[in-house]
Structure 1
Amino acid sequence: MTVPKEYIPHEVEPKWQSSWDMSKYHFDWEDQSRPQYIIDTPPPYPTGNFHIGNALNWCYIDFIARYKRMRGYNVMFPQGWDCHGLPTEVKVEELHGITKNEVSRAEFRKMCKDLTSQNIEKMRETMMRLGFSIDWNNEFVTMEPEYFVKTQKSFVQMYDINRIYQSDYPVNWCPRCETAIALAEVEYDSRDTSLNYLYFDDLEIATTRPELLPACVAVAVNPEDERYREHINDEVEVPIFGQKVPVLADEAVDTSFGTGVVMICTFGDKQDVRWCVKYDLPVRKAINKNGRMTDVAGKYSGMTISECKDAITQELSDKGHLYQQETLEQNVGLCWRCKTPIEILSEPQWFVSVNDDEIHNTADEVNWHPEYMKTRLKNWTDVMEWDWCISRQRVFATPIPVWYCNKCGETMVAKEEWLPLDPIQTEPPEPCNCGSTDFEPENDVLDTWMDSSLTALHVSGWLSEHELRLPTQIRPQGHDILRTWAFYTILRTKAIKGIKPWEFILVNGMVLGEDGHKMSKSQGNIISPDEVVGQYGADAFRQWGAVGGTPGSDVMFRWKDVVSASRFMQKVWSIYRFSMTHLEEFVPDSSDMAQISQENLSLVDKWLLSKLNKLIESVTTSMDKLLFDEAYKSMRTFAWEVLADNYLELVKSRLYGKDPESRKAAQTTLYYAIDTLIHVLAPITPFFAEEMYSRFKEGSVHEQSWPEVNELLIDNDVESKGEVIKDIASNIRRYKSDNGMALNAPLEKVEIYSDVIGNNDIEEIKGATNSEVEVLSGHPQIDYKPVEIKPNMGMIGPKFRDKAGSIVKTLKSEDPEKISKQADEGKIVVSVDGETIELDPDSVEIEKEAMSSGRAVDVMDVDGTVVVVIR
């Protein structure tokens, strides 16, 4: 079969993408003969853009999936789509020029669902182009009833064991999105604000939130602050609004901030919540769900928060309550989606109770890579002060399966057999305990993490016709969602089944632009996977993922890495093309390297096979440890430096030669090298490996077994001798190049003085140097004859530097042996323009030529072996 000179990925990759039988990647639920390997794959949010961070993570997953299949595992690489959530609602409102309240709930949900389906198709196309071996038989879509019924059943089960409850408790609230958000969804940013100093009767306080004066329920001082001890348990009047509030003593008050007196409002921040609970303070709701001031704010009712802040600040100033302002840098909590500053509101919400010890202990049961990511998760667990708020005031999400009896007020939670359902569209199948059938449905929906935190349970067969296969084997994910996806999955899996969700978690970093910054539209440094594939192909992109694949660390995208990957494939293709010209009609004695006969192999053949088996050993270890960068670098080094630069140069003469046994030994060695290289490249460059394999053997490389190490072929002594052969040939080629000789130009003779190799080991050196080669014992008898004197101009006195040309000419014309003798006597005397000049011997360099039996020769020291070249 003719192998084209150039490897063209844009012709090869679409061919295999369209012809691969994806059913080969399906997980066999009935197979008990192979060990299972279930991957708890991240379900991306269907934006329509499978971005480069997604692509990097999926490269890692595909490396693992393809490798594990070749190692004999029953692999599930499922694909999910985490559909529900606020971003889709916002996008639908933008596209249709509406708000969610301007159309029916059902119509709005349909718009969201249609957009999501379109986006999934776009992202699926990119994933196929990148060659991911996804088990589409186990695809799941969280917005479909087949999936969200499990979310609803998990809600019911956790409610029944008191892990889910409803309470009127302060939560983080986004006024712009009009919904509660979880603590994990709060982002922080540094912003400048005004610190306002106010008079509270005889006390002075400093606050950044004057708009919360109507919500003030107390002030606090530190009991150790002597300035205010006499005011403890007094009452003071809140300026403008007039309510009387107590002065409390609490050790949490920072005496160094502001005036050392703190205004407690319901609620300004987390500390306000703590104090309100601790001292059982009343709740005065000054801000509503829409971010407007309530009736508690009096004449400011209906204003936005910012409008109210400005108006109250002005009135405080006008009435003499405000006596000082200063700029303060403040860390502000923001909504993750719209970046609006969050408020803390007390509203009836649904919560999941968090058991810190359970999270810690389960995390310890899982193997973490890298290990320090476990500490990040534990640190997050330790700083959580509130339970997980799971109710959202949105539309496109899993409905909370709950009704409220209008007669007695009882909460009716759906039974599992009633699910899936939407309580807004479905009446309870049975009456309330009080006998009433008059119900009010729950309008809130579930946090989308309630869907995605079930992925480990879902892919392992929970609530299906299959036997539960929990724990899964691996969870690959980014470090940015440790506090959400990893945290919530551990919490939910442990609560529902009492089992850890995975055996292993692989945490990858983010992708940075070439400028070293996080990719973003504002930075103008975004690169899409489609752009890279369009220019260099999927396998070049995947190699970039592998070479930068140090789990946990952020990865910089660099075009030069992709270009380098493309060149590497062309190099391997050239190796392959050359090899196939010598292997086309070759049939090995055995296709299994374990059965290889070493009887007719040369030292160099054995050297390569030892290197080859160490490559298998190294790559296997790296892949088992998920060190894809190390695995890839091992393959690259072997292919480029060992195989191409050395072995092929050494055996060309044997491959083209007429000795059938010698040629067959070289063919056999080359056959196993090419076969192994194709196999180990397959997980990282699936299209490239498949194209080579298709011209080499029948079938698909992705259905073959991973190569096994033949320990009998690993021989350190052979490798040491082989390195000597390689280095000698390499040095002679370099010698010819340095001397302007053609690499195939013959030399009269090459003498090798070595105790390591013998005359039986030098066939390849003869072929590579096109010369007579002899191995001798001992050391060569070499004399050195001076042939040229070079002055060191920096060490010749300034008096003679202007005569440098004459000096050089005179030195070259002098008898070198005479000059050498003078140097031994401690002086060099030359004549320049009739003037005698004496030079310091250190100011000249005496070049000598090696002589053997009266002939000029070149002598090389090749790692302790002396090589004499006779031209």
Structure 2
Amino acid sequence: MEIPKDYDPLKVEPKWQKYWEKLGIHRFRRDDRQAPTYVIDTPPPYPSGEFHMGTALNWTYFDIVARYKRMRGFNVLFPQGWDCHGLPTEVQVEKKYGIRKGDLPAEKFRELCVQLTTENIAHMKEEMNSFGFSIDWTTEYRTMDPDYYSKTQLSFVKLYKKGLIYRGEHPVNWCPRCETAIADAEVEYQEKRTVLHYIWFKIIDEGENLTIATTRPEYLPACVAVAVHPSDQRYRKYVGKKLEVPPLGHSVEIIEDEEVDPHFGTGVVMICTFGDKTDVKWVKRYKLPVIKLIDEKGRMSAAAGKYSGMTIDEARKSIVEDLRAMGLIEKQEEFPHAVGVCWRCKTPVEILSKPQWFMRVLALNDRAIEEARKIRWVPEYMLTRFIDWVKSMDWDWVISRQRIFATPIPAWYCASCKQTIVAEEKQLPVNPAKDPPPVDRCPNCGNRKFEPEQDVLDTWMDSSITIAAHAGWPEMDPRLFPADLQPNGTDIIRTWDYYLMVRHLALLDKAPYKTVLINGMVLGTDGRAMHKSLGNYVDSSKARDKYGADALRQWAAIGASTGADIPFSWKDVEFGYRFLRKFWNAIRFASPFLKPELIQQDKNKVNLRPIDRWLLSRLNRLIK
């Protein structure tokens, strides 16, 4: 074979990629019951349309493992799916068309989501193929397709029957911009400079004031109690007395609780519904009333009195102005504060009390930690991150969302008594907005009219059953479960690794993976997180078009250790290209001597020099 003089990866790579696909050498051989299997639970990415450097890094790791295991004789399942549903796609559609989800009929909005997702998948699939990843494309799945989301709905029905899924009203994290509940794992924290306001509260019938420090004066209308530490001698005499809460003037009681930090502010804290998670605990502990101060759009409700209808920021400013006019602000200080924001749109998150669907994950957390300790984590310290997250959880997983593009919750409600009716397994997949419930009459009151569930499922309900889905669940292929390798980035340990664990424990009573491989994040050349807004973003396709896929894969392979962040470096990619060019020239130089007629077939007759024997010994050691 004549080898061209110049190394041109843009010509060479597509040729072999097409050849591999034609031969089907990457496909999982389902009829092969002899070879040992090796299953990789490939993360299904959001079809954003961008195949960024982080994705290139991740899939290079996965591909190295897949190719190595095939060379060792394993029948490798290297699947690929797409996590279609959820906020990322909806937000992208809203931005592209300049609309909000309520501007169009739900079905039309969903059509736009499907259209955009399909386009993005086609582009990302083309990028993956151009990188030469040895994916078995016969396993491709899309979570928005009925054959997949029917499994999501089936898991919902089965866990509902087990009592592990329930509906109730409970405070939840709420994004006012996206107008939906979000889980704890979807709340990010940003350090912001805010103002700590020291406000005078009048002690009723005492002629004295108490000073309370707060960063959220807009929550004053929802103050339902004031708390002090029981050992704080400054305030013991006031416990049980009433305070007048400015600026609206309602009264609340002073109580004591050991969770109050006597060193923060003045040592006196407001309990509001709901400023933070501690407020939620106190309200439940002392059976305090709930004042619903903020609505779904982030505006003040009628409970805010004269501030009703204002945005949160407007209400904060107006209330502070009124307090100042009333002479009730003692002082103000700048204060660094970690603010919870929506992971997708970065809007500050509020806590609202809403009827939602939940999964009882708190009851599974001890078992999740127990199973996680039995699993191999690469690097080992990532187990600590998993355990720390599990132990930090306060609430069950809220699995319902007030959006459109997602798996429908398979449930209806009696129009009369509001009894919940959940779909039968044989009905699935169902869309309650179009399909009838499994009963003609309400089993509770006999009514014949039903209302469909309008909420949809969290997208993690789709992607947290991928391992079972690969194994054919509910009909399981025992060769494919649990997965041998669970690979993902550090950023989704608390979501994907955790949700996979609790969902499979709940459904199958078994941990879903044997080894977890964690990679770090790709940083810009300036050492900061790579992002377009920072001007340090590098499009992986541009790097590939300049130096070829193999050069970029070499950068990913040698650039960092597992679990560590890796800064992108054009210099390292160029080094990969130069190395491959030298490798090409070496093969070209050797090729005239590799003709079949020049190769000695009988190895016993070969007279090897010491250097040849040494090279072969090193090769054999590597192979072993």
- Shorter chain as normaliser: what TM range? over 0.9
Residues 37, 479 of structure 2: 8 Å contact kept:
no
Distance in 2, Cα, partners of 1:243 & 1:573: 81
Equivalent of 2:306 in 299, 303, 310: 299
Provide structure 1 residue ranges, at least 5 long, that are not aligned to the other structure. Answer: 618-871
Q: Deviations over 1:660-695 (max 9, x none)?
A: xxxxxxxxxxxxxxxxxxxxxxxxxxxxxxxxxxxx
1:235 to 234, 242, 246: 242
Separation of aligned partners in 1, 2:460 and 2:282: 30
Task: Find the aligned partners of 2:147 and 2:606 in 1 and give their Cα distance.
Answer: 63
2:371 is matched with which residue?
362
User: In the alignment, which of 373, 378, 383 is matched to residue 387 of structure 2?
Assistant: 378
The residue type equivalent to 1:204 in the other structure is T
For the residue of structure 2 that corresponds to 1:204, the secondary structure is: strand
Kindly tell me: are residues 299 and 568 of structure 1, through their superposed partners in 2, closer, same or farther at Cα, counting changes over 3 Å? same
For residues 101 and 327 of structure 1, what CA distance do their matches in structure 2 show?
Answer: 38
2:90 corresponds in structure 1 to: 89
Letter in 2 for 1:26: R
- 1:142 shift after superposition: 0.3
Q: For the residues of structure 2 that align with 1:158 and 1:464, how far apart are their CA atoms? A: 17
Q: Measure the CA separation in 2 of the matches of 1:133 and 1:571.
A: 25
1:328-727 equivalences under 5 Å are 328-354=335-361, 355-431=364-440, 432-433=442-443, 434-464=445-475, 469-590=480-601, 596-597=603-604, 600-617=607-624
User: In structure 2, what is the equivalent of residue 127 of structure 1?
Assistant: 128
1:181-196 paired onto structure 2 within 5 Å: 181-196=182-197
Name the structure 2 match of 1:327: 334
Matched, 1:4 2:11: no
Match of 1:213 in 2: 220
The 8 Å contact of residues 392 and 445 in structure 1, kept in 2 or not, is answered as yes
AA of the residue aligned to 2:312: I
Paired AA for residue 604 in structure 1: I
Q: Deviation per CA, 1:525-573: give whole Å up to 9, x if none.
A: 1112211110111111111111124211111221121222122222222
- What is the RMSD computed on CA atoms of the aligned residues? 1.6
The alignment partner of 2:472 has SS state of coil
* Cα distance in 2 for residues equivalent to 1:161 and 1:85: 26
Q: 1:220 to 1:130 in 2, by over 3 A?
A: same
Work out whether 1:113 is the aligned partner of 2:114: yes
Q: Which moved more, 1:300-309 or 1:511-520?
A: 511-520
Bigger shift: residues 304-313 or 424-433: 424-433
CA contact (8 A) 2:424 2:438 kept: no
- Cα distance between partner residues in 2 of 1:256 and 1:364: 38
Secondary structure in 2 matching 1:247: strand
Aligned pair count?
Answer: 613
Checking the alignment, whether the CA contact within 8 Å between 1:38 and 1:460 is kept in structure 2 is: no
Matched ranges for 1:25-174 at <5 A: 25-174=26-175
Higher relative contact order (CA 8 A, sep 6+): 2
Shift of 1:141: 0.1
Letter of the aligned partner of 1:252 in structure 2?
E
Contact 2:50-2:124 within 8 A present in 1 as well = yes
**2: distance between equivalents of 1:604 and 1:335?**
62
What secondary structure does 1:522 align onto?
helix
Q: CA deviation at 1:581?
A: 1.8
Distance 1:600-1:532 versus aligned 2 partners, 3 A rule: same
Per-residue Cα deviation, 1:233-262 (whole angstroms, up to 9, x for no partner): 111121222222111111111111111110
Task: Say which SS state the counterpart of residue 480 (structure 2) adopts.
Answer: coil
Contact 1:508 1:551 in 2 (8 A): yes
Give the residue type in structure 2 aligned to 1:509.
G
- In the aligned structure 2, how far is the partner of 1:340 from the partner of 1:240? 27
Per-residue CA distance 1:310-337 (angstroms, 9 max, x = gap) = 1111111111222221211111111111
Contact 1:470 1:499 (8 Å CA) reproduced: no
Q: What is the identity, as a one-letter code, of the residue corresponding to 1:342?
A: V
Q: Distance in 1 between matches of 2:84 and 2:345?
A: 18
Question: What is the CA distance between 1:466 and its match in structure 2?
Answer: 5.2
Task: For structure 2, list consecutive stretches of 5 or more residues without a partner in the other structure.
Answer: 203-208
Q: Alpha carbons of 1:7 and 1:599: their partners in 2 closer, same or farther (altered >3 Å)?
A: closer
How far 1:589 moved relative to its partner?
4.1
Partner letter of residue 517 of structure 2? L
Q: Residue type matched to 1:338 in 2?
A: C
**Cα distance between partner residues in 2 of 1:28 and 1:584:** 33
* Superposition deviation, residue 468 in structure 1: 6.9
> Could you tell me which amino acid in structure 1 is paired with residue 564 of structure 2?
S
Post-superposition offset of 1:196: 1.3
- Aligned to 1:166, the other structure's residue is in SS state strand
CA contact (8 A) 1:174 1:180 kept: yes
Distance across 2 between alignment mates of 1:372 and 1:519:
25
Counterpart residue type for residue 543 of structure 1: Q
C-alpha distance in 2 between matches for 1:132 and 1:521: 26
SS in 2 for 1:29: coil
For 1:523 and 1:206, locate their aligned partners in 2 and report how far apart those are by CA, in whole Å: 36
**Are 2:275 and 1:268 aligned?**
yes
Percent identity between matched residues is 53
Structure-2 residue corresponding to 1:697: none
Indicate how the Cα distance of structure 1 residues 304 and 186 shifts in structure 2: closer, same or farther if over 3 A, else same.
same
- What is the alpha-carbon distance in structure 2 between the residues aligned to residue 204 and residue 567 of structure 1? 69
Task: State the 1:467 CA deviation.
Answer: 5.7
Alpha-carbon distance between aligned partners in 2 of 1:327 and 1:416, rounded to the nearest angstrom: 56
SS of corresponding position for 2:156: helix
Deviation at 1:415, TM superposition (A): 1.1
Contact 1:478 1:509 (C-alpha < 8 Å) held by counterparts:
yes
TM-score with structure 2 setting the length: 0.96
CA gap 1:466/1:503 in 2 versus in 1, 3 angstroms: closer
Distance 1:320 1:571 in 2: 78
Which amino acid letter does the alignment assign opposite residue 241 of structure 1? L
Conserved in 1, the CA contact under 8 Å of 2:323 and 2:329? yes
**2:148 aligned counterpart, secondary structure:** helix
Q: Name 1:700's counterpart in structure 2.
A: none
What TM-score comes out, normalization by structure 1 length? 0.69
Q: Which amino acid aligns with 1:118?
A: E
Q: 1:127 to 1:84 in 2, by over 3 A?
A: same
Q: CA deviation at 1:86?
A: 1.1
Partner in structure 1 of residue 205 of structure 2: none
Shift of 1:90: 1.8
> 2: CA distance between counterparts of 1:601 and 1:173?
73
Cα distance 1:4–1:23, how it changes in 2: closer, same or farther (>3 A)?
Answer: closer
State the distance in 1 between where 2:618 and 2:104 align: 69
In structure 1, how many angstroms separate the alpha carbons of the residues matched to 2:454 and 2:111? 17
Question: For 1:182-223, what per-residue CA distance to the aligned partner results, in whole angstroms no more than 9, with x for missing partners?
Answer: 111111111121211112113221111111111110000111
1:22 deviates by: 5.6
Structure 2 Cα separation of the partners of residues 605 and 597 of structure 1: 14
Q: Which range moves more in the overlay, 272-281 or 565-574?
A: 565-574
> 1:18 is matched with which residue?
18
> What SS class does the counterpart of residue 412 from structure 2 fall into?
strand
Give the SS at the match of 2:527. coil
